[in-house]
């Protein structure tokens, strides 16, 4: 039994080490002095976000990018509240979501794309805030790389407390894995809060066709289709000014529901590497818990338990640290989070396979 648990751990260490190596292979974007070339339709699906939208739109109004080269498409997904549009110096349109599938967000994005006036679609969330040079940096990256799809970074707006510290570490691990996977040319996930693609490329890969049954995945499934069509057509914009900031959740139930929603996509990964990462993360966290129980029943020694926990903690810390340095984020509450995470992660994994989850006041089944 002990041998099996350490085989799982060894496989996990090798896989995470690959992501760490991939992260080091990624070169931050060097900005060239060039005129803005690309045009963007910023798509923001929302539902009952009257408190958050003004903050997002305020940061968009401060963008260092020609106002005639971007527009904002707000897609109202059956909100219970009204959101009055103010006078902005950029083109902004409020659209009603046209529901046709089990995925409100995918429907909202597709509704917006049908009305988009510009060549590039860039999605973000209503509770986000963008950097002044956000579009400028992404435009620069597109001009240098000639890609058709661009993923970029997302980080949490800093807060205090254990809940924030825990979810921030979890989020950093996802961002680190994303960047690392791009570095070894095996991308398998991205974040829809900062995701851009050419409108014609969206139609070329048939948009969300085939993925309508799953409520989430407006980002990952589109990424997978792009990889299948042309792996060289996508890239990751590694630049601090392209990072979008988003709000963390307010309580543990929201966090659990959110992570279940995210985890529900992992069984649909087409990437063998992506599936391997997801399975190994689950098995290693399960093995972590198994070691604890085996020690409690005096089946393994304290040194074996400590060795297992220490090895996993070290490799996790290395990935977290290099990610935190790029995102300028603190690794607060690290030790308690490393102790809680195996229980939280395995619970999320099991629930995502057999349970339902709440999202924006609605209930969804996998």
CA distance 172 to 177: 8
Note the pLDDT tens digit of each residue in 247-270: 999 999 999 999 998 888 777 788
CA distance 29 to 133: 13
1 pLDDT exceeds 80?
no
Predicted confidence at residue 366, as pLDDT, reads 56
Q: Which fold has domain 27-251?
A: Spore Coat Polysaccharide Biosynthesis Protein SpsA; Chain A (3.90.550)
Cβ–Cβ < 8 Å for 139, 31: no
Q: Phi and psi of 143, rounded to 5°?
A: -65, -35
Note the pLDDT tens digit of each residue in 15-74: 999 999 999 999 999 999 899 999 999 999 999 999 999 999 999 999 999 999 999 999
163 pLDDT exceeds 60?
yes
Predicted confidence at residue 339, as pLDDT, reads 96
Tell me what percent of the residues of the chain surpass a pLDDT of 90. Answer: 81
> Minimal CA–CA distance to 279: which of 17, 4, 15, 6?
15
Predicted confidence at residue 40, as pLDDT, reads 99
Chain mean pLDDT for the chain: 94
Mean pLDDT for the stretch of residues 114-138:
98
CA dihedral 273, 275, 281, 285 (to 10 degrees): -150
| Tokens 């970074």 belong to residue | 153
| Tokens 């999202």 belong to residue | 359
Domain boundaries, the chain: 2-22+271-352, 27-251
Which residues neighbour 326 within 8 Å (Cβ) at sequence distance 6 or greater? 153, 179, 238, 240
Mean pLDDT for the stretch of residues 320-328:
98
The lowest-confidence range among 42-51, 318-327, 348-357 is 348-357
Q: What's the distance, Cα to Cα, between the start and end of the chain in Å? A: 33
CA distance 263 to 351: 9
pLDDT tier for residue 354 given thresholds of 50, 70 and 90: confident
Predicted confidence at residue 81, as pLDDT, reads 86
**Full-prediction pTM beyond 0.85?**
yes
Q: In which region does residue 32 sit, left (phi positive, over 0), alpha (psi from -120 to 50) or beta (all else)?
A: beta
**Is the CA virtual torsion 19, 20, 22, 23 positive or negative?**
positive
Note the pLDDT tens digit of each residue in 289-314: 999 999 998 889 999 999 999 999 99
Cβ–Cβ < 8 Å for 271, 227: yes
Note the pLDDT tens digit of each residue in 200-242: 999 999 999 887 667 677 899 999 999 999 999 999 999 999 9
Predicted confidence at residue 2, as pLDDT, reads 84
Cβ–Cβ < 8 Å for 154, 237: no
Note the pLDDT tens digit of each residue in 106-123: 999 999 999 999 999 999
Predicted confidence at residue 341, as pLDDT, reads 98
pLDDT tier for residue 362 given thresholds of 50, 70 and 90: low
* Secondary structure class of 247 (helix, strand, coil): coil
């Amino acid at each position: 039994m002990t041998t099996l648990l350490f085989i799982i751990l060894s496989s996990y260490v090798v896989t995470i080490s690959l992501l760490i190596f991939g992260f080091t292979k990624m070169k931050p974007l060097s900005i060239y002095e060039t005129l803005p070339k690309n045009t963007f339709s910023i798509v923001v699906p929302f539902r009952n976000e009257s408190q958050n939208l003004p903050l997002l739109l305020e940061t968009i109004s401060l963008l260092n990018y020609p106002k005639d080269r971007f527009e904002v498409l707000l897609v109202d997904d059956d909100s219970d509240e009204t959101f009055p549009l103010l006078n902005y110096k950029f083109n902004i349109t409020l659209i009603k979501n046209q529901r046709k599938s089990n995925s409100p967000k995918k429907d909202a994005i597709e509704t917006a794309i049908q009305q988009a006036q510009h060549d590039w679609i860039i999605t973000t969330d209503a509770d986000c805030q963008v950097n002044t040079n956000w579009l400028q940096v992404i435009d620069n990256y597109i001009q240098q790389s000639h890609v058709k799809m661009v993923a970029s970074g997302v980080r949490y707006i800093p807060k205090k407390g254990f809940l924030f510290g825990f979810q921030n570490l979890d989020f950093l691990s996802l961002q680190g894995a994303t960047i690392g996977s791009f570095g070894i040319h095996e991308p398998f996930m991205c974040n829809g809060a900062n995701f851009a693609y050419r409108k014609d490329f969206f139609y070329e890969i048939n948009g969300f066709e085939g993925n309508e049954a799953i409520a989430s995945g407006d980002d990952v499934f589109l990424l997978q289709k792009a990889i299948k069509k042309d792996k060289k057509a996508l890239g990751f914009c590694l630049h601090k000014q392209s990072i979008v900031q988003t709000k963390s959740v307010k309580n543990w139930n929201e966090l659990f529901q959110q992570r279940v929603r995210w985890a529900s996509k992992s069984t649909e990964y087409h990437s063998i590497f992506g599936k391997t990462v997801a399975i190994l993360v689950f098995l290693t966290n399960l093995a972590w818990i198994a070691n604890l129980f085996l020690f409690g029943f005096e089946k393994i020694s304290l040194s074996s338990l400590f060795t297992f926990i220490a090895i996993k903690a070290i490799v996790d810390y290395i990935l977290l640290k290099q990610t935190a340095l790029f995102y300028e984020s603190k690794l607060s509450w690290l030790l308690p989070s490393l102790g809680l995470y195996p229980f939280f992660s395995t619970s999320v994994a099991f629930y995502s396979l057999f349970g339902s989850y709440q999202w924006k006041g609605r209930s969804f089944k996998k």
